[in-house]
A and B are shown apart, each in its own frame.
Chain A
Amino acid sequence: MPKLVSHPDEVKIVSKRFGMGAAELPRYMELGGYEATKKALAQGPEWIVAEMKASGLRGRGGAGFPTGLKWSFVPKQSAKPKYVLVNGDESEPGTCKDHLIFLHDPHAVIEGTIIAGLAIGAKTGFIYLRGEYRYLIEIMQKAVDDAYAAGFLGKNIFGTETEFQVIVQSGAGAYEVGEESALMESLEGKRGVPRIKPPFPAVVGLYGGPTVINNAETIASVPHILMMGGSAYAAVGSERNGGTRLFGISGHVNRPGIYELPMGYNLHKMIFEVAGGIRGGRTLKAVVPGGSSTPVLLPAEIVNLGMDFDQVGKAGSMLGSGGVVVLDDTVCMVEFALRTISFYAHESCGWCIPCREGTDWLKKSLTRFHAGFGTMKDIDNIQYLAENMMGRTFCPLGDAAAMPTIGFVKKFRKEFEDHLDGKPCPYAKHLEVALV
């Protein structure tokens, strides 16, 4: 069972029911459950979208697109049914926040799904969880069954004329399916390859109908936002970055875990105070700030860095999924770069050639490099290859593989040079990545 952690600096909004037995409906009701849905039903779609816009909530999956704005793009009239799709495919290495939401607060996900449906005029919502999360799928399914039994889902929700159905869906192992168009393909029973955009899902999505796709954390935030009010939620965060975020701190820290902190929280403080500093009293070497696809940051770059989409973007990286991976001075950055690219090479769906071939070549080059058979020219070639993958694929997986690789080469060039001329790797034990 994943351990829950806490720190006095936390502002618990999304995580406020964690560890309180809220997966059980009666307990959830005691904790103020389904009040937000009732309020949303009474106030109507325009009010919901206005509150969401005021909240400044930006997509928690990684792209950081304003949620209220996304909902407002869905056409009011549509010949085809509209859908809400909750993305719980959580697969970005370093990210495990949705794991806790499904485990501790599945009804908040249902509420958020209903509210999103009310906002855009959809009658059906899908909650898609990665296949590895079987025990969470069962928790989620039980919550949905309980909500149906209580009349919160179905033909006449809460005794109104409004219909809303929720279907819980299981994936079967694929990082790529976390990309919104690939997610829709998977849900339609196909290989999870991305679709070309435009048209965007808000216009042509699932089964060809207008579709809103939101990350599970985004959706779980919605009921809290409606209860506390959009502007109150916005005030918790930083400029243009409303609210809080579930930051998952992993790697070489003393107290790894999921902490809910205000947007804009200082990264240095997050590592050294909230997560208890570097394990074994060692020195910080590097931080991957938002999941494996975000470019690495050096210790000097995090001192005054506030963790929100804009500030991390300005620092040359991305807030991504909020998965902060902390590396101490024992890590070989070439090996770390190799393990990162190996993941993307494994997960590339093969649809777009720059990504399929690029990730494979980067993996081969880095494998050779790490084994001591690299040449000086390889360092530039790795960067050149990665730069040429950028922006040349249907979905962002190609970029997600290229960006961190470029970062590793740029910021740790010296360490790459240390591997030249057959020199054994100064740190690492594992020369090859076994996974194929």
Chain B
Amino acid sequence: MSVETMSIFSPKTAARFDALVLKYPVRRSALVPMLLYAQDDIGYLSDAVIEEVAARIGITPLDVRNVATYYSMLRFKPAGKYNIQVCTNISCMLRGGYDVFEHLEEELGIGHKGVTPDGLFSLEEVECIGACCWAPAIQVNYDFHDDLTIEKVDQVLASYRVKAEGETKNA
């Protein structure tokens, strides 16, 4: 099986997966992290991603789907370049988590699980992200932004817009 040579993943991710499956007493233990890293690389769990992950682990694509549908961070449709995850669980709710979420809905013109037409941002209301003492908090992809106010949310949004512009210019 030459998945390594025909990989749909970037060379870096493919190399990482080659090592990952050998790390555990049982090959299948690589599955959950592999799905997350695959999503980071491709953007979402497409049919092709599921096929290759299944081949690498040595299980069926149906087995992979069965596991993937369980985990809330894994998605089967593309998200925005910057996926904004707003915690509204109790500690964040008490300190304005819903205000942050509604403000972002208005600013971006999208709702829960929506993607902006330019594909730059997506928005998600999520459960506790483990930043309760620094609430309200959001995650943009994997980056935490905590102790937020509406002004700070606007600054965060602006910083990602600038970042995206810089990347387009350099491209």
Contacts and interface: CB of A to CB of B under 8 A. Distances in A.
B30 A189 contact: yes
Contacts of A191: 66-67, 70
Contact of B89 (A134, A170, A343): A343
B31 A189 contact: yes
A195 B9 CA distance: 34
A435 B74 contact: no
Given A131-B71, A172-B73, A93 B32 contact: no
A96 B112 contact: no
Interface in A177-225: 186-192, 207
A170 B32 CA distance: 7
Contacts of B139: 132
Interface in B127-166: 127-135, 139, 142-144, 146-147
A167 interface: yes
Contact of B28 (A124, A131, A189, A434): A189
Interface in B86-106: 88-91, 93-95, 98, 101
A67 interface: no
Nearest to A167: B23
A90 interface: yes
A14 to B, nearest CB: 15
Contact of B90 (A2, A257, A325, A346): A325
Nearest to B24: A167
B132 A327 contact: no
A14 B71 CA distance: 31
Contacts of B132: 93-96, 248, 250, 256, 323, 325
A331 B30 CA distance: 44
A92 B128 CA distance: 7
B1 interface: no
In this complex, which of A132, A336, A429 has the most chain B Cβ atoms within 10 angstroms of its Cβ? A132
Contact of B88 (A95, A249, A429, A435): A435
A134 B142 contact: yes
A104 to B, nearest CB: 14
B90 A189 contact: no
A189 B32 contact: yes
B83 to A, nearest CB: 12
Interface in B65-91: 66-67, 70-74, 88-91
Contact of A429 (B30, B98, B111, B142): B98
Interface residues of B, number: 48
B36 interface: yes
A190 B73 CA distance: 15
Interface string A346-375: 110100000000000000000000000000
Given A2-B131, A189-B67, A258-B133, A171 B32 contact: yes
Contact of B91 (A3, A94, A186, A347): A94
Nearest to B89: A93
In this complex, which of A133, A207, A435 has the most chain B Cβ atoms within 10 angstroms of its Cβ? A435
Interface string B18-60: 0000011110111111011000000000000000000001000
B33 to A, nearest CB: 4
A72 interface: no
Contacts of A99: 130-131
A71 interface: no
Contact of A174 (B70, B90, B125, B130): B70
A207 B142 CA distance: 30
Interface in A1-35: 2-3
Contacts of A98: 130
Nearest to B57: A189
Contact of A434 (B32, B125, B127, B144): B125
A340 interface: yes
B70 A292 contact: no
Contact of A339 (B90, B134, B135): B90
B66 A339 contact: no
Contacts of B130: 90-91, 95-96, 98-99, 130, 132-133
B143 A3 contact: no
17 contacts: A2-B146, A3-B134, A94-B90, A96-B133, A131-B71, A132-B142, A169-B29, A170-B32, A172-B36, A172-B72, A175-B127, A188-B28, A189-B57, A323-B132, A325-B132, A327-B94, A347-B127
Interface of B: 23-26, 28-33, 35-36, 57, 66-67, 70-74, 88-91, 93-95, 98, 101, 111-112, 125-135, 139, 142-144, 146-147
